[in-house]
Structure 1
Amino acid sequence: MPIPQRFILVDDNEADNVYHEIMIRRAGFTGEVHVFESGADALAFLRVDELTVPTCLFLDINMPQMDGFEFARQARPLLQDKPTMLVMMLTSSDAPQDRLRAGDMPLIRGFVTKPLTRERVREMLQTG
């Protein structure tokens, strides 16, 4: 995966989104950060986006209407052949069954327990 030039946060918790965007910025990232409070809104964006910019999408598990697993299921046809997209769970869940389920989904390439740290973002920005 190339170094991310854009981040997408998909989380229904506004405070978490604000905090995580701050951590992304404090890590030195100056590019685009898109925030969506629902999986449906994020899917709508991905359907019209060209998906050519190296992007890291952080996805919460526990959201109303469409949880992170359902989002990943629906987004897979859009993203599965896009080497520029990195989809990672970013969740407060530390349940082993959630980690295993995420690991079984081909679209999900990582699992990060909240809160996101600037050190974790710096790692991503240095190694891609």
Structure 2
Amino acid sequence: MHHKDNTYDTVLIVDDDPIVNLVHQKVLGKVGIANEIRSFTDPREALPYLYTELARCGRSILVLLDINMPEMSGFEFLDSASMYQQNGNVLHVLVVSSSIAKGDMEKGLCNDLVGGYIQKPLTGPQVLDFVKKRSSLSA
């Protein structure tokens, strides 16, 4: 069964707080937009996983990305991720941060990969809204 327009093959949750990851995993599970959900508390572990996913073809991937993380900031993660070849895959990034500093929001949104910015905690309706917007853009 191939996925509908509003689902991703894989959703990566990247946040250094395991509780947040758990909550977000539950929210994503409820809204049913992902065939597979992987969460990472260390962005440096998420990058190689993302790279492997992008090396395959016809994947659609959503990354829920925190900004303030000790090992590597969300911005550094984005810098690395944007150097990867997309290989015709769909890669969307949704920044989910407790920081609503305007500078962070603007910096986050000016990265090409970033499709939206949501304040923690993530809610089902917000995710669905984002996915609807993105799928209508890339359709």
Structure 2 length as normaliser, TM-score? 0.81
Please list every run of at least 4 consecutive aligned residues from structure 1 whose deviation after the TM superposition is greater than 4 angstroms.
79-83, 124-127
Mark the CA change 1:60 to 1:51 in structure 2 (over 3 Å): closer, same or farther.
farther
Q: Distance in 2 between matches of 1:17 and 1:29?
A: 16
Does residue 4 in structure 1 map to residue 7 in structure 2? yes
Q: 1:34 aligns with which of 15, 34, 38?
A: 38
Structure 1 length as normaliser, TM-score? 0.87
Give the aligned CA root-mean-square deviation in angstroms.
2.0
Structure 1: stretches of 5+ with no match in the other structure: none
Q: 1:72 aligns with which of 68, 74, 78?
A: 78
Structure 2: stretches of 5+ with no match in the other structure: none
Secondary structure, counterpart of 2:82 in structure 1: helix
Q: Distance in 1 between matches of 2:79 and 2:88?
A: 15
TM-superposition CA deviations, 1:58-112 (whole Å, max 9, x none): 1000001210000000110115565511011111111111011112222222111
Does residue 16 in structure 1 map to residue 15 in structure 2? no
Mark the CA change 1:30 to 1:55 in structure 2 (over 3 Å): closer, same or farther.
closer
Q: Distance in 1 between matches of 2:32 and 2:77?
A: 29
Secondary structure, counterpart of 2:62 in structure 1: strand
Q: Distance in 2 between matches of 1:126 and 1:108?
A: 15
- Which one scores higher on RCO, CA 8 angstroms, separation ≥ 6? 1
Any conservation in 2 of the 1:58–1:88 contact (CA below 8 Å)? Answer: yes
Percent identical residues = 28
Q: Distance in 2 between matches of 1:109 and 1:30?
A: 17
How many residue pairs match? The answer is 127
Secondary structure, counterpart of 2:125 in structure 1: helix
Greater CA drift, 25-34 or 35-44:
25-34
